[in-house]
Structure 1
C-alpha cells in the first residue's frame, strides 16, 4: 500500500444536536480509489463534507499530505488540491456548461489541453457547451458536476454517489473518466451504492455504520466475500 494522501484520526462531527461522526479513522492511499461504503444514513456524506470543510469537525485530525485541514476554510482546501463532487451536483442551472466549467478552474482560465481531455471523456458536454446547464438531462448534469471538479488538476477527489439513478451507458462514461484520473496518479475517495461500479473501480474499501468505521481492507476481498458483506452491511452487495 502506498503512503496515504489523506488520513482521518478520531474525527467527530456534530450537526445541530446530532452526533453524526463518532471517531472516524481511515486512510486514503495515494494514487488509488478508496470506496466509502455502508447503508444509507451511516455518515458517508457527512464524512466527505467534513473533509471538505462544509461541516466542521468537533475533534480529531484530518491530515492531507500531512497538513491538518481542520482549521482551513473550504476555499483553502480546494486551493490545496482537493476537488469535491456533492451528491446534489451543485451546478449553476442558469449558467452555460462553459461558464460552469470556468468556475471550476479556480486558479485561472480553463486550460485548453485540460478542456480537450474533459470533452473527450464527456463528449455530451461539448455538444451542449454553450447551452444553459439547467437544460441538460440528469445524467448530463452529473457529468458536468464531475467534469467541473476536474476542470483543474487536483491531487484528491471526493465524489458522492456519482452514478445514482443513471443509465448504464452514462455510468460507463463516468467510470472510464475516473479510471483515467487514477491512471494520472490522482487519488479518489468515492461514495458509491452501485456494487458493480465499486467492484470495478475500488482498490480499497472503508465500511461505515452508525458514524463509525467498522471495516477497512482491499475492495477485492470485500467483493468476493458475501458473508463479510452481509455481516458488515446486512445484505449481499450484489443485491444492493
Structure 2
C-alpha cells in the first residue's frame, strides 16, 4: 500500500471564463496532515473543490489510493470516503444540530462512541442538540461543520480555513479536536491562514501561487525558515505566530 493517499497531476480547473488552476501537482501522505498555504487567490479553495468533484478539472488526473477519481462527481467522491469542511461551513440552517449530524452520517444513525467523542470535543453541540443550526453562533456553526465530517470515519478530510474569523478560544477548541483527529491516524488536507495553527498541526506543507504548487516539503522546514516563507508567500510565519 502506497504512503501517498491522494495525488494530483497537472490539474487545470476553470471557474466560468477564468482559468484558476494552472497545472497543480500535489501529493498527500496517508495518515498525516498536509497544510495548503499561500496568498489569497492562489487557488487553494479551488483545489479542494476540484478534489471533491464540485469543480471538475478539464485536464490532469486525481487518484485516491491509486484509483482515478478525476471524473467522479461530489456525491461519488463522498462515497469514496472523502469529506469536505467548506469555508462557508455548509450546514443546513433550518435543520437541528441532530439532523445535521444524522444527514452527514454515511452508515445510518451515528455511532454512539463517535458521537460521544464529538460531544467531548464540542460540548456546545450537546447543549444545542435539538436546536436549529441557524441559531448557533459563528464558532458553534464551525464546530458543527467539522463535527459533520468527523461523525463517520473518512479516508480523507478536506478542511478549508476552519479558524477564519473565529475568536481565539473557539480556535483553541477546534485545534484540540483536529489534533485528536490527527492522533487517530486521519489523513487531512487543510487550507489555513492561521500560521500558528498550521505549524502546530501540519506534518507537510504545500505552498500555492498563481494556481500552481510552487513549493512542497516538511512543515517544520518551512516554519523554521523565515526567508523561505517570505520568498514563497511575501510574509514570515513568525509575524503571525
TM bin, normalised by shorter chain, reads over 0.9
Aligned to 2:72: 72
Residue 26 of structure 1 and its aligned partner are, at CA, apart by 1.1
Task: Report matched runs for 1:61-140 at 5 Å.
Answer: 61-140=61-140
Moved more, 203-212 or 14-23: 14-23
Residue 111 of structure 1 and its aligned partner are, at CA, apart by 1.2
- Structure 1 stretches of at least 4 aligned residues deviating more than 6 Å after TM superposition: none
Aligned to 2:217: 217
Aligned to 1:148: 148
Q: Structure 1 residue 235 and structure 2 residue 235: aligned?
A: yes
Moved more, 206-215 or 229-238: 229-238
Give the Cα–Cα distance (whole angstroms) in 2 for the partners of residues 97 and 222 of structure 1: 38
TM-score by length of 1: 0.97
Give the Cα–Cα distance (whole angstroms) in 1 for the partners of residues 137 and 125 of structure 2: 11
Residue 130 of structure 1 and its aligned partner are, at CA, apart by 0.6
Partner SS for 1:72: coil
Deviations 1:163-199 (A, max 9, x none): 0011111111111111111111110000000010001
Give the Cα–Cα distance (whole angstroms) in 2 for the partners of residues 152 and 108 of structure 1: 10
Deviations 1:9-34 (A, max 9, x none): 11110111111001100100001000
**RMSD over aligned Cα, in angstroms?**
1.0
Residue 78 of structure 1 and its aligned partner are, at CA, apart by 0.7
Aligned to 2:58: 58
Residue 73 of structure 1 and its aligned partner are, at CA, apart by 1.4
Q: Structure 1 residue 204 and structure 2 residue 207: aligned?
A: no
Aligned to 2:170: 170
Which segments of 5 or more consecutive residues in structure 1 lack a partner in the other structure? none
Deviations 1:38-66 (A, max 9, x none): 00001000000000000001111111111
TM-score by length of 2: 0.97
Give the Cα–Cα distance (whole angstroms) in 2 for the partners of residues 4 and 142 of structure 1: 29
Which segments of 5 or more consecutive residues in structure 2 lack a partner in the other structure? none
Partner SS for 1:57: coil
Q: Structure 1 residue 15 and structure 2 residue 32: aligned?
A: no
Give the Cα–Cα distance (whole angstroms) in 2 for the partners of residues 148 and 171 of structure 1: 17
Between the two proteins, the alignment pairs up a number of residues equal to 239
Partner SS for 1:159: strand
